[in-house]
């Protein structure tokens, strides 16, 4: 069993590395193609391989079968197809737990987070080791493992680890407001929610949206429950509402259900949570490069949540 899991993990990481190489080559092909179409000089770093890249790009345009026959890299599959291959086919199975010795506020927050995800289960941490919990989750076909952290009784972190091989996303939490602290709170619906994602435009934004989106099953059209993830300056505001329609259907009334909080992504690891030290870092926030010029540089090269 352990050997098989180790082999599957090596194969997964190999596919991820192949995907990264393919993306880099594809970007070079696109640059050469644009230079030829616009009749301008090809970049200096691409001149040496321009002819080969042009031929390879022509094979890609001819179709994936010909590109594969010619040895092109277009035959490489997207690893996200493997990570979330059952998304939309089977409902996600989620376990929510906390750090050790949680405060009463963190326990309450864990209960409310559990209600957000349909079909999820809350697990008391106790004295269990992370390795034990992850093995138990894999044995029971759990798709995602969520850990909530706190600082002095205030929830300040959320870790989402996708099973069986990753990725693992680390979010900081701020401005957490519990359900009972929101005036005129509505009743909590258990229907599968509709999702609204606003301002996730870059590659990193799409990656973050995928990690969050696949935590939820496919909703029915008649569902009146809406979850909103709105990105503003790389802070993701989470809101939870129920809505009702008037008799004639011309007006819609929103009732906030809660909780509400802000998330900020600061790291994505390729592996699962218990293997974080041995896992490669897919993306990491650089908090000391927040000047306007460097933010523009980061958004172009590394993919900020929203391109500046």
300 confidence band (pLDDT: 50, 70, 90) = very low
Given this model, what pLDDT does residue 67 score? Answer: 44
Segments of the chain assigned to CATH 3.40.50.10480: 94-301
**Residue 192 clears pLDDT 90, i.e. is over it:** yes
Report the CATH fold assignment for 94-301.
Rossmann fold (3.40.50)
Given this model, what pLDDT does residue 54 score? Answer: 64
Rg (CA), the chain: 22
Of 36-50, 109-123, 196-210, 218-232, which range is least confident? 36-50
Given this model, what pLDDT does residue 63 score? Answer: 47
Mean pLDDT of 4-33: 74
| pLDDT, greater one: 227 or 40 | 227
Of 191-200, 228-237, 249-258, which range is least confident? 249-258
Distance between CA atoms of 208 and 221, rounded to whole angstroms?
25
Q: Give the bridge partners for 242, in sequence order.
A: 225, 255
**Residue 248 clears pLDDT 50, i.e. is over it:** yes
Given this model, what pLDDT does residue 183 score? Answer: 86
**Residue 77 clears pLDDT 70, i.e. is over it:** no
Three-state secondary-structure class, residue 236: strand
Q: Which of 41, 36, 38, 40 is nearest to 55 (CA)?
A: 36
116 confidence band (pLDDT: 50, 70, 90) = very high
Given this model, what pLDDT does residue 254 score? Answer: 87
Residue 185 DSSP code: P
Q: What percent of the chain has pLDDT over 90?
A: 44
Q: What percent of the chain has pLDDT over 70?
A: 78
Residue 199: which residues within 8 A CB-CB, separation 6 or more? Answer: 205, 230, 231, 232, 305, 306
Mean pLDDT of 11-16: 72
Given this model, what pLDDT does residue 2 score? Answer: 64
290 confidence band (pLDDT: 50, 70, 90) = low
23 confidence band (pLDDT: 50, 70, 90) = confident
Task: List the Cα angle 92/257/145 in 5-degree steps.
Answer: 25
Residue 90 DSSP code: B
**Residue 208 clears pLDDT 50, i.e. is over it:** yes
Given this model, what pLDDT does residue 36 score? Answer: 75
**Residue 308 clears pLDDT 50, i.e. is over it:** no
Given this model, what pLDDT does residue 246 score? Answer: 76
Given this model, what pLDDT does residue 166 score? Answer: 86
Mean pLDDT of 82-101: 88
The mean predicted confidence, pLDDT, of the chain is 81
Distance between CA atoms of 228 and 199, rounded to whole angstroms?
11
For 302, counting Cβ atoms within 10 Å of its Cβ (0-12 exposed, 13-18 middle, 19+ buried), the class is middle
Mean pLDDT of 200-229: 93
Given this model, what pLDDT does residue 298 score? Answer: 46
84 confidence band (pLDDT: 50, 70, 90) = confident
């Amino acid at each position: 069993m352990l050997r098989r899991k180790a082999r599957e993990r090596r194969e997964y990481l190999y596919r991820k590395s192949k995907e990264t190489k393919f993306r880099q080559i594809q970007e070079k092909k696109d640059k050469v193609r644009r230079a030829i179409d616009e009749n301008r000089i090809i970049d200096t770093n691409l001149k040496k391989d321009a002819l080969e890249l042009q031929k390879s790009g022509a094979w890609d345009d001819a179709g994936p079968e010909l590109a594969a026959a010619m040895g092109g890299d277009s035959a490489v599959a997207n690893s996200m197809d493997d990570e979330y291959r059952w998304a939309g086919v089977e409902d996600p199975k989620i376990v929510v737990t906390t750090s050790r010795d949680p405060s009463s506020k963190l326990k309450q927050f864990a209960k409310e987070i559990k209600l957000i995800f349909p079909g999820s289960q809350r697990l008391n941490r106790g004295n269990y080791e992370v390795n034990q919990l992850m093995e138990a989750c894999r044995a029971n076909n759990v798709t995602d493992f969520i850990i909530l952290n706190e600082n002095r009784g205030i929830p300040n972190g959320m870790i989402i680890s996708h099973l069986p091989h990753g990725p693992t996303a680390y979010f900081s939490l701020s401005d957490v407001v519990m359900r009972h602290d929101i005036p005129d709170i509505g009743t909590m619906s258990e229907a599968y929610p509709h999702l609204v994602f606003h301002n996730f435009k870059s590659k990193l934004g799409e990656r973050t949206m995928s990690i969050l989106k696949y935590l939820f099953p496919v909703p029915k059209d008649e569902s009146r429950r809406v979850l909103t993830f709105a990105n503003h300056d790389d802070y993701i505001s989470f809101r939870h509402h129920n809505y009702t329609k008037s008799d004639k259907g011309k007006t819609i009334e929103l009732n906030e259900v809660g909780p509400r909080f802000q998330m900020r992504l600061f790291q994505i690891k390729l592996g699962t949570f218990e293997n974080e030290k041995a896992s490669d870092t897919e993306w990491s926030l650089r908090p000391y490069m927040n000047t306007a010029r460097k933010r523009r540089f980061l958004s172009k090269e590394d993919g900020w949540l929203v391109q500046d």
